[in-house]
Amino acid sequence: MSGDEFIQPLFAVQGLKNPESIPGLTGVARESEHSLLTQIEQDLENGVRSFLLFGVPESKRESGFDFTFPERMISTIKKRFGSDLFLAVDVCLCSYTSHGQCGFLSPEGDHVDNSTTVAELARAASIYAAAGADCVAPSDMMDGRVAAIRRSLDQVGRPDALILSYSAKFHSKFYGPFRVAADSAPKGTNRVLTDRSTYQIDPARPSDALLSSRRDADEGADILMVKPALAYLDVLAKLSAEIPLPWAAYEVSGEWAGIELLAERNLVDGPRAHLESWTAIRRAGAEIIISYGARRAREWIQKYGNAK
Ligand code: PBG
């Protein structure tokens, strides 16, 4: 491990005046348009090159989504930093919808509708790519979205843009701090709408992760992902051995925050515990680690030395 394996998540919040800290997510903030650029500048100086951007819009809707905020952020970032940085952009609707689900609801309002959602995700992805994103990362878990996104990237003249697919994303309790940061928790009242269990993978059904990862590879994904990381290392080891594409693992918000909170109470040595987790994630087959601590990785690896 050198530090080059890491991708740093960034939250850009429309209309925010000053950066805001996020409970549990030490070292990461909800950034304003201005502070985001300063943060990226600082990260680049420290040798961090790869980022995953989450755009958080000012207002929520049920349809008629407006992607001009992330579009503007992407083009500003790419104009300013060019190929000094690799910019991946998350593609999902959960920060945009008033109900917090990852897509459009059916006319009856009782489930998330796959086909209209896929079309909208493809539209968002094409806007991000046209604005200069190096990579789009669909995190919604709808069926067929990678193929639709691939076509939409071709249509806007960006066949070179990569697709990093959240291909094996489980229905997890470890996403808590992220949902505060992205203001994206599901808010529905019936069971189908209070969680995402109808489209995220059941932790007890790893075979679904293999099927959806194969499907995403067939549909044209360039990089596949397992998420969360630590609780799914068996899945990562198996899938990365089986499907010959680069694999990423997302050390999600609850995983990062868990170690940070233990360290805060002096119950573990934070940096070394993070390094141990990252080593395990690499050992299980991930080439790429998405971590809230990406911007600390290089320093910690140099200071404490490390393995793989
Ligand atoms: C959903 C999305 C999630 C994360 C990123 N995009 C999960 C969810 O809310 O279901 C989680 C990331 C994290 O916890 O760090 N679009």
Contacts of 13 (CB under 8 A, 6+ apart): 20, 30, 31, 32, 56
* pLDDT above 70: residue 163: yes
Angle, helix 270-283 to helix 253-264, in steps of 10 degrees? 150
Q: Is 227 a catalytic residue?
A: yes
Q: How far is residue 88's CA from residue 53's CA, in Å, rounded to a whole number?
A: 6
Residue 54 CA to ligand 1 centre (angstroms) = 10
Pocket test for ligand 1, best of 175, 253, 259 (most atoms within 8 A of CB): 175
- pLDDT attached to residue 184: 81
Q: Confirm or reject: Cβ of 60 under 6 Å from ligand 1.
A: no
pLDDT score of 308 more than 60: no
Of 149-153, 197-201, 207-211, 283-287, the poorest mean pLDDT is in: 197-201
Percent of all residues in the chain with a pLDDT value above 70, rounded to a whole number: 97
> What is the model's pLDDT at position 192?
64
252 CB near ligand 1 (under 6 Å): yes
- In the chain, count of helices (H) and strands (E)? 11, 10
Q: Strand, coil or helix: what is 264?
A: helix
Q: Is 79 a catalytic residue?
A: no
* Residue of 178, 188, 171 lying closest to 99 (CA atoms): 188
CA of 186 to the centre of ligand 1 (A): 11
- Of 79, 169, 187, 238, the catalytic one is 169
User: Residue 110: its pLDDT value, please?
Assistant: 84
The reply to whether ligand 1 has any atom less than 6 angstroms from the CB of 184 is: yes
Name beta bridge partners: 288: 248
For 26-66, write each residue's pLDDT tens digit. Answer: 999 999 999 999 999 999 999 999 999 999 999 988 889 99
Q: What band does 193 get if pLDDT is binned at 50, 70 and 90?
A: confident
pTM: 0.96
User: Can you state the percent helix, strand and coil of the chain, rounding each to 5?
Assistant: 45, 20, 40
Residue 288 C-alpha to ligand 1 middle, in angstroms?
17
Identify the pLDDT of residue 189.
65
User: Looking at 183-305, which runs of residues are DSSP E strands?
Assistant: 223-227, 247-251, 288-291
Query: Residue with the nearest Cα to atom 5 of ligand 1?
Result: 139
Within 13 Å of residue 154, how many CA atoms lie on the same side as its CB? 7
* DSSP secondary structure of 285-297: T-SEEEETTHHHH
Q: Cα-flanking dihedrals φ and ψ of residue 201, to 5°?
A: -75, 135
Kindly state if the Cβ of 92 falls inside 6 Å of ligand 1: yes
Q: Is 172 in the pocket of ligand 1 (CB under 6 A)?
A: no
